[in-house]
Amino acid sequence: MKNRLEDGQVNRQKNRQKTEAPVSGRKPLSFFLRCGAVLMAAVLLYGGIFMGAFCLLPPLYEDSYQRVIVRQYDSLKETEGPKVIVLGSSYITFSTDTAVMEEILSMSCQTFGCHAGMGVRYFFDLVKDFIGEGDIVVYPVWEADINYYGTELIMTGIEGRADLLLRMPAGAVKGVLTGSRDIITKKIYEPLRDTLFAGVLDQVSDSADAIYNISSFDENGTMTALRTECLIDDPVPEEQKVRYDQADYPAEYISFLNEFDAYCRERGASFYLTYPTILDEGLDNSEEELEAFDIWLKSQVTAPVITDIRDTILPREEMFNAVMHANTYGAERYSRMLAEDIRGQE
């Protein structure tokens, strides 16, 4: 009898262990699920706060220079039929007169790009969806980090535009996530503390050249502000001089340009390379070095280089406030030359 009782107790203990084991196994799983739910809720809440601050709160940068990328984007989106797109950073903003080019080519002409700090790759990425049959894309080639995205400037430029935020290239997503905190801080936290961002903006506008404002551009994003003089120091400080150097055009950059050329061809478009405007005194190359660079570049790229490099070197009276920024007169002459070079490819 005693043995049977002991056997019964042993069996009951085993049964309890079997029934209790699954319960103890579910506790860690339930814990992780709760943690995951809390984390997901936090992410959604943070994302909602960021989108609300970015899209709904009063803008801080609506008058900024980089805001012109929105005008250029909207203009390009609305343009129908074959068109000319001039890509680049501030050197195309200051040096391209689209009205002059349209008169010569009898085609719509659109600049696309404004600030080197945004990263030239961003302009290439954003323009891709608008390239179609018969289009001509022109890029005044200049040294660039083709993997760089200046997300802080990009986000201030496209502020309030959820469509452009959602079209942010994959390579820029990390920068957006990092910079989202600053957007929230500047548009929510600081105004609530009455240490408004306007104090910083006033300081910037007082010290910056008045040309760097959205009012300098027309509705299509072409600079129309009159620039009649040269504001560059004479002589040009050594640290402001630029030069063409093969080392600044690595294989990855050249490959990117060739891949973009192939992309344009696939869509029935043409991709041409040219050179940007540069003040003659601000260029630190001899004529022999310029010729050697031109020959080298043409041997590396698949797209035609349509302009004589010497024709893009302008005198002081045609430049404005930086060694690669033309004034109104320089922009007219450069644009006329560029249009004629494009027409010569037909």
Tokens, residue 22:
């699954």
Has residue 143 got a pLDDT over 80? yes
pLDDT score at 201? 45
φ and ψ of 110, to 5 deg: -135, 125
d(Cα 15, Cα 247) in Å, to the nearest integer? 76
Query: How does pLDDT run across 62-110, given as a tens digit for each residue?
Result: 999 999 999 999 999 999 999 999 999 999 999 999 999 999 999 999 9
pLDDT score at 174? 82
Who contacts 44 (Cβ-Cβ below 8 Å, separation ≥6)? none
d(Cα 100, Cα 334) in Å, to the nearest integer? 10
Question: What SS3 class is residue 64?
Answer: strand
Output the average pLDDT for the chain: 86
- Please give the single-letter amino acid code of residue 280: D
- Quick check: 277 and 142 in contact, CB under 8 A? no
d(Cα 346, Cα 343) in Å, to the nearest integer? 6
- Using H for helix, E for strand and C for coil, what is the string for 71-86? HHHHHHHHCCCCEEEE
Mean of pLDDT values over 295-316 = 98
Q: What are the residue boundaries of the structural domains of the chain, listed by start? A: 71-148+213-343
CATH pick for 71-148+213-343 out of 3.20.20.70, 3.40.50.1110, 2.40.110.10, 3.40.228.10:
3.40.50.1110
Q: Is 320 exposed, middle or buried (0-12, 13-18, 19+ CB in 10 A)?
A: buried
State the DSSP string of 126-160.
HHGGG--TT-EEEEE-----TT---HHHHHHHSTT
Has residue 176 got a pLDDT over 70? yes
Any bridge partners for residue 273, and if so which? 139, 305
- Quick check: 282 and 323 in contact, CB under 8 A? yes
CA distances from 15 to 5, 26, 115, 201, 346 (A): 15, 18, 74, 74, 89
- Using H for helix, E for strand and C for coil, what is the string for 94-124? HHCCHHHHHHHHCCEEEEECCCHHHCHHHHH
d(Cα 141, Cα 273) in Å, to the nearest integer? 6
Least confident segment among 25-34, 77-86, 111-120, 289-298: 25-34
Q: What is the CA radius of gyration of the chain?
A: 29
For the chain, how are helix, strand and coil distributed in percent, rounded to 5?
60, 10, 30
Tokens, residue 34:
């709760």
Has residue 216 got a pLDDT over 50? yes
pLDDT score at 44? 67
Has residue 335 got a pLDDT over 70? yes
d(Cα 242, Cα 157) in Å, to the nearest integer? 27
Tokens, residue 98:
């689209």
d(Cα 147, Cα 187) in Å, to the nearest integer? 29
